[in-house]
Chain A
Amino acid sequence: MERSLMKGNEALAEAAMRAGCKCFFGYPITPQTEISAYLAKKMASAGGLFLQAESEVAAINMVLGAASTGTRVMTSSSSPGISLKSEGISYIAGSDLPCVIINVQRGGPGLGGIQPSQADYWQATKGLGHGDFHVLVFAPASVQEMVDMVVRAFDKADEYRMPAMILADGLLGQMMEPVTFPEIKDNAPEKPWATNGHKNKREHNIINSLYLKPDVLENSVVERFERYKKIEETETDAECYLCDDADIVVCAFGATARVAKSAVNHAREKGIKAGLFRPKTLWPFPVKEINEASKNAKVLLSVEMSMGQMVDDIKLAINCSKPVEFYGRTGGVIPKPTEILAEIEKLGGVK
């Protein structure tokens, strides 16, 4: 199996092509631009399409168009650009179209900064646009997971006919790590619903999110939520590290989880029973996994590159059965292992 040293953004782009992504529509924004640059170089010779749109708004609507034809399609942006895409994401979800959206997060709100952040957790998991809908949200924590999760995102988006998001951050996008590309197949299923020309062989297909009769619209939303329920039961994923006997379970995702893991190791060296719970899917949130991971814990500590956007989900997942503390840095500041260790020590009773 080939092993290469690659930037997270480039590895993700390569994996998307191998997963059968045939169209990519993007717009430049730091710190995700390497995805566009890589695909601009490679897509055409691989029989795919790279197109730079005039805006993030146009790019996501080009995604809507290509997805309507049944084509595997992706777009990529960073925080302010994702806000611009949210209109289109709502329409894509309301039209039951599969696609993959990458958010290499940077600090916000507003123009914010260009350093790594996780402050789009709420947006990704609860508010990616108007109306009742969810998108699948995967949170990679390594360059290898940028590869593995984008492949999974394409498959699951097709399986459930819904958008899937990779919620990465500037650190994962920019860092280089060894990565392997497993045998990746384009697992795209048949899409009899696609608007790719009826060839005079079937009735015309319609891709649409407009339902003027309230009961018809309600039924379409309820049907979608029945799918979501199945996803919540079957698609959660998480890593549990030294959780079995842990008094303190640190909860962190993405790049922050790597820093937190170092802090957990340091704590163990000092005799503090700490563990790490790392959600790999943020929607659906791994509810049964976090309950299992924290069954012996006295306290949970959420560590994030935001002001604590994941805390409520943790509290709800464990039904507020244990205290959930928080430590975070925001605005593009990455928490240091020593800072997290100090928080663990505080909770572990070390003065």
Chain B
Amino acid sequence: MAVVFERPHALCDVPLHYCPGCTHGIIHRLVCEVIDEMGIEGDTIGICPVGCSVMAYDYFNCDMIEAPHGRAPAVATGVKRAKPDSFVFTYQGDGDLAAIGTAETVHAATRGENIVVIFVNNTTYGMTGGQMAPTTLPGQITQTTPYGRDPKIQGYPVRVCEMLSTLSGTALAQRVSVDSVPHIREAKKAIRKAFENQKEKRGFSIVEVLSTCPTNWGLSPIEALDRLREEMIPYYPLGVYKDITAKEGE
């Protein structure tokens, strides 16, 4: 009997700790499928953040490093500069990448650091129980914005891909989502492109993946996917913000 669907080799055969309905599992799988398809598991080193995916080192079959909060792009820089022929990716949430790690993110991009950044945006700090993130939407209720995020008090959410697309070192800045099958297929293509960029030494590639957090949003998994579509995508439009391989007019 022909096997038509199986666990990617790069994804460890262990139970994941993520909450029911969380989309981290899908995103892990997409990264692992790309690693398998490119045949690079033995040369890949992944960097985990602090946040919900802090224990992703147990889930990826390649060599893994756990970084301090926000510092994954700096750790990745050290790995990549020491071993330029390896494939290096970071896997970071919004608090890690866009709050405490903003400097490391921006400067890895300005240097054109030849790494892949998988940026999971779910508009909240999931691991600590749902506090305001730099990406929390105006009006969104969290533990630390109990009356809803008021831009006059808490400021505005940051659009990371738009910001990083202005930097010369960025090769790819693309926002995708995993709320539907067509979007998941698009997300995988973007991740593949990011790793291909690294192979061709094109520079810094970031794929921002809009993700759900049913637990901290207080929604069922299905309602959470609806919220992603109805509230997140309008504020964080999907698309390619920068792609240095794109031809004029495309």
Contacts and interface: CB of A to CB of B under 8 A. Distances in A.
Interface in A292-320: none
Interface string B171-201: 0000000000000000000000000000000
Contacts of A335: none
Nearest to B55: A210
B45 interface: yes
Contact of B103 (A54, A64, A71, A209): A54
A208 B65 contact: yes
A133 B128 CA distance: 26
B82 interface: yes
Contacts of A58: 71, 74, 77, 103-104, 107
Contacts of A207: 64-66
B82 A197 contact: no
A61 B82 contact: no
A13 interface: no
Contacts of A205: 63-64
Contacts, number: 136
A57 B83 contact: no
Contact of B63 (A61, A88, A197): A197
B71 A195 contact: no
Contacts of B86: 69, 196-197
Q: How many interface residues does chain A have, given as a range?
A: 35 or more
A318 to B, nearest CB: 39
B81 interface: yes
A133 to B, nearest CB: 15
A88 B74 CA distance: 11
A64 B78 CA distance: 7
A207 B65 CA distance: 5
A204 B68 contact: no
A207 B62 CA distance: 12
B44 interface: yes
A73 B78 contact: yes
Instruction: Indicate the member of B71, B82, B104 with the most A CB atoms within 10 Å.
Output: B82
Given A22-B82, A64-B75, A198-B63, A69 B45 contact: yes
A195 B74 contact: no
Contact of B45 (A61, A64, A195): A195
A328 B217 CA distance: 59
For this complex, into which size category does the number of interface residues on chain B fall? 35 or more
A69 B41 contact: no
A206 B148 CA distance: 40
A62 interface: yes
B78 A25 contact: yes
Nearest to A195: B63
B61 interface: yes
B208 to A, nearest CB: 21
B158 interface: no
B68 A197 contact: no
Contacts of B117: none
B170 to A, nearest CB: 16
Interface in B41-57: 41-45, 47, 54-55, 57
Residue from the set B57, B81, B103 with the largest chain A CB neighbour count within 10 Å: B81
Nearest to B106: A54
B62 A23 contact: no
Most buried by A among B45, B63, B78: B78
Interface string B96-122: 000000011011000000000000000
Contacts of B79: 65-66, 68-69, 195
Interface string B33-47: 000000001111101
A204 B104 contact: no
A69 B64 CA distance: 10
A202 to B, nearest CB: 9
B60 interface: yes
Contacts of A213: none
A204 B61 CA distance: 6
Contacts of B68: 61, 64, 87-88, 91
A49 B74 contact: no
B104 A199 contact: no
13 contacts: A57-B71, A57-B103, A58-B71, A61-B78, A65-B47, A67-B78, A68-B79, A88-B68, A195-B65, A197-B44, A198-B42, A208-B65, A210-B55
Listed from nearest, the 9 A-B pairs whose CB atoms lie closest are A65-B78, A61-B74, A62-B78, A195-B63, A54-B107, A65-B75, A66-B78, A61-B71, A66-B82
